[in-house]
Structure 1
Amino acid sequence: MLAFGFVLPFLPLYLKEIGVHPDSAVVFWSGALVTSTGISLAIFSPIWGALADRHGRKVMVLRSMLVGGLIIALMGLVQNVEQFLVLRILQGVFTGTIAAATALVATIVPRDRLAASMGQLQTSVYVGIAAGPVLGGVIAQAVGIRGTFFVAGAMLAVSGLLVWQFVHEHYTPPSTARRPGFFETFGRGLRSRTLMPLMVTLFLVQLSTAIVFPILPLYVERISSATDPVKLYAGLAFGATAVFAALAAVFYSRLVDRSGYRRILIFACFGAAVFFLPQAFVQNIAQFLLLRSGVGIFFGVLIPATNAIVGLSTPMELRGSAYGLTSSATAVGNAIGPLLGSTLAANLGYASVFIATAGVLTVLGLWVIGLVREPAS
């Protein structure tokens, strides 16, 4: 995630560099590029998840990192937005790193350590997201945005080699007699009264995260002064959320032991809504960073808690497929979120994006109250 976080905050600025103008076109293409990756990821995640159950989860992690590294490095060579779009689609087809890693962790740790392990995994994700924009901002200021793609691709490739060398999976293929087919598994997941509400939960969480992606650097530019380092502040806006999310993910398992998953999810949904709403009315970058940090605390709980419920509610031999389906739901949120955000910004202004996100999170809290079940002990 450090590598992925290098480039995402600067996507609108990179579009300007490769010839996309005016700002309205930049907003549109920013949303379209993120959406395209989300759509292709949504289509292919269940397929990769089913393959993970049949051939092992470690090989899926290697696939996502090594091929993803090559694709991201190639993004530094694009000459126009159409080439960039093709590579963003391919990124969605071949990556899915977090889902692959989540499925691997869920199958190699004991049940009583799943909540803590999901928190630790999500902490590593958020640390990468936090450090990536900041370090990416430094590199972008020094060598240009194109250079960040090359560095990010190399880092993903190195990460894949580390997994290949040091991560060990004792995988036993399920017997063909009790192995459900892909379409059977897919249909069973969509009909599940346990898994389906969790898929919707992750969809809305990711939509709430991704809805600001196309406009965040431009919003930072608007509330900053003319002499401010906008690229660095854009990185900090992403990084502040991720830092506090990482801290929350470390400690959330202790709260789960006391209050249960469901109560924690409800509290996190409404808490995130409270911190999102005032972002529409900030007057300077300091206020904005403070509120982004508060949002991170609650987002740091939402994803690992939901993923832990998925693992606790799914048989071991089907966890790859389950996380493939939830990854697909997450990817749909990642696809629709930027498109919705850019549409709202273009028609109603930047502030409407933050107000709408607060509304989505409020609806999510009500959804959890009504339909998400506490997993069995």
Structure 2
Amino acid sequence: MSTTEPKSATHTPVRRAAVIFIFVTVLIDILAFGIIIPVLPHLIEQMTGNTVSNAAWWVGVFGTVFAAVQFISSPIQGALSDRFGRRPVVLLSNLGLGLDFVLMAVAPSLWLLFVGRVISGMTAASFTTANAYIADVTPPEKRAAAFGMLGGAFGIGFIIGPALGGFLGGFDLRLPFWVAAGLALANFLYGYFILPESLPVEKRSARFEPHSASPLGSLKMLRRHREIFGLSVVMFLFYLGHYVLQTVFVLYADYRYHWGPQAVGYVLALVGACDGSVQAFLTGRLTARFGERRVMVAGLSFGVVAFAVMGFATTGWVFLIGIPLLSLWGLSGPPIQSIMTRHVAPDEQGRLQGAVTSLGSFAGIFGPYLFAQMFAFAIAPERSVHMPGVPFLLAAALVGAGAVIAARATRQESPGVTSR
């Protein structure tokens, strides 16, 4: 069977409520994860005897293990959705996530909190399956816009979630976990009554194949086509570059610009607002007018410029100039995903999205360590020249390499311009 989906392929008719649900599902899951971001380190610190050094070490362990678990679990979740349909995987994910947040809310010890974090990495299937769902119900020429819509949900969630979590954590460090549990369980009930299945029985995989659901097996799938393999490398570099913000931004902003927690919070909200706006309002319009390949390469180029501006910025206001440029970097993600979906069959979309999610998790295993060590090296007291912006310049180089690979891998790709 050909893995390239023809443009004339019919798509399962679904109610508008189903597409809205997928958007809401991603938004609520991001809100749930975002809510605990400001309080989880403090809860760990409390459980380790209020020792900052011990807490910092455990926070790193929690983050690395979460990424490692997602790296293993994502292709399994994708393969299960190809075999049994998207709906049961999404619903079980939301139910498991809600129950897991309850476990973390009542966890009396560090090891039980750690177990909860591992389970949350296993149950966070909605991101993988939501992308496969969108590929099921959206024509190929409109997938970039649909993936951009999901990117908008990420942006909105990361604006509201951490702010809400910080506010709730001021009353009780465990309160955000209860609220996150309520959101995930409400999502499960909403989906149980509203979400239709997007993958018909006749388009599902004939059987569940464990070898293709393993991380290495799923990554082998990315080597079938030159376009998919090249773009999978670009996606890995894309994800890796993101970790410079998650890892060193707070320390960098304090060291170079003397921004406190409040200023950092405002800047992160600005990042989320710009990114969400670009994903929700520009991606679809620009890909329809200029084509996916051009928008992809332009987006990656904006990322290179943005990270370079941030790395060389000696004052805070210059750093802020890089934020809208950074949001335009986000234009590259949806076209990459859209192009990749056109090279696999309907019964492989889940495995494709699981493999792509695994790339992000793989980047998360060692990305934070890479950028943290680079920052520490750049500002070490014994160094005669301090260059705190080096991690951002490294991110610019990684994204630049991704732009070159993307352009070369898609040279044979059709323009993908659709009529407006």
C-alpha separation in 2, matches of 1:348 and 1:90: 36
In the other structure, the counterpart of 2:93 is: 64
Quickly say closer, same or farther: Cα 1:169–1:373, change in 2 above 3 A.
farther
Instruction: Name the amino acid aligned to 1:200.
Output: V
Instruction: Name the amino acid aligned to 1:364.
Output: G
Quickly say closer, same or farther: Cα 1:345–1:65, change in 2 above 3 A.
farther
Q: CA deviation at 1:103?
A: 0.8
Greater CA deviation, 22-31 or 63-72? 22-31
In the other structure, the counterpart of 2:226 is: 193
- For this pair of structures, how many residues does the alignment match? 372
Q: 2:267 aligns with which of 217, 237, 243?
A: 237
In the other structure, the counterpart of 1:342 is: 372
C-alpha separation in 1, matches of 2:173 and 2:324: 25
Q: Output one character per residue of 1:8-35: Cα deviation in whole Å (capped at 9) or x when no partner.
A: 3555455444437766655544333222
Q: CA deviation at 1:287?
A: 5.1
Q: What pairs up with 1:205-354 in 2 under 5 angstroms? A: 205-222=238-255, 228=260, 230=261, 232-250=262-280, 251-280=282-311, 282=313, 288-299=319-330, 301-349=331-379, 351-354=389-392
Quickly say closer, same or farther: Cα 1:36–1:61, change in 2 above 3 A.
same
Matched, 1:149 2:180: no
In the other structure, the counterpart of 1:202 is: 235
In the other structure, the counterpart of 2:139 is: 110
Quickly say closer, same or farther: Cα 1:28–1:265, change in 2 above 3 A.
farther
Q: CA deviation at 1:56?
A: 0.6
Q: CA deviation at 1:224?
A: 6.7
Q: What pairs up with 1:57-96 in 2 under 5 angstroms? A: 57-78=86-107, 81-96=110-125
Larger radius of gyration: 2
Q: CA deviation at 1:333?
A: 1.6
CA contact (8 A) 2:133 2:198 kept: no
Quickly say closer, same or farther: Cα 1:182–1:131, change in 2 above 3 A.
same
Quickly say closer, same or farther: Cα 1:175–1:101, change in 2 above 3 A.
closer
Q: Output one character per residue of 1:256-287: Cα deviation in whole Å (capped at 9) or x when no partner.
A: 22322222222212211221233345566655
CA contact (8 A) 1:116 1:253 kept: yes
User: Percent of aligned pairs with the same residue?
Assistant: 23
CA contact (8 A) 2:231 2:405 kept: no
C-alpha separation in 2, matches of 1:28 and 1:375: 46
Instruction: Name the amino acid aligned to 2:391.
Output: V
Instruction: Name the amino acid aligned to 1:168.
Output: P
C-alpha separation in 2, matches of 1:89 and 1:102: 22
Q: CA deviation at 1:175?
A: 7.3
TM-score (ref. length: structure 2): 0.78
Matched, 1:165 2:193: yes
Quickly say closer, same or farther: Cα 1:30–1:348, change in 2 above 3 A.
farther
Q: CA deviation at 1:332?
A: 1.0
When the two chains are superposed, the root-mean-square deviation of aligned CA atoms in Å is: 3.0
Greater CA deviation, 157-166 or 22-31? 22-31
Quickly say closer, same or farther: Cα 1:21–1:291, change in 2 above 3 A.
farther
Q: CA deviation at 1:94?
A: 1.8
C-alpha separation in 2, matches of 1:194 and 1:237: 36
Q: 1:122 aligns with which of 132, 151, 170?
A: 151
Q: What pairs up with 1:15-26 in 2 under 5 angstroms? A: 15-19=44-48, 26=55
C-alpha separation in 2, matches of 1:274 and 1:127: 24
Quickly say closer, same or farther: Cα 1:374–1:211, change in 2 above 3 A.
farther
Quickly say closer, same or farther: Cα 1:177–1:347, change in 2 above 3 A.
closer
Structure 2, unaligned runs of 5 or more: 1-29, 380-387
Q: Secondary structure at the match of 1:314?
A: coil
Q: CA deviation at 1:111?
A: 3.1
Instruction: Name the amino acid aligned to 1:320.
Output: G
CA contact (8 A) 2:48 2:55 kept: no
Q: Secondary structure at the match of 1:242?
A: helix
Matched, 1:363 2:401: yes
Quickly say closer, same or farther: Cα 1:346–1:27, change in 2 above 3 A.
farther
Greater CA deviation, 32-41 or 130-139? 130-139
Q: Output one character per residue of 1:137-195: Cα deviation in whole Å (capped at 9) or x when no partner.
A: 3333x324432222122212212222222222254224789668453573443333232
Instruction: Name the amino acid aligned to 1:296.
Output: S
Structure 1, unaligned runs of 5 or more: none
Q: CA deviation at 1:43?
A: 0.9
C-alpha separation in 2, matches of 1:113 and 1:70: 35
CA contact (8 A) 1:69 1:153 kept: yes
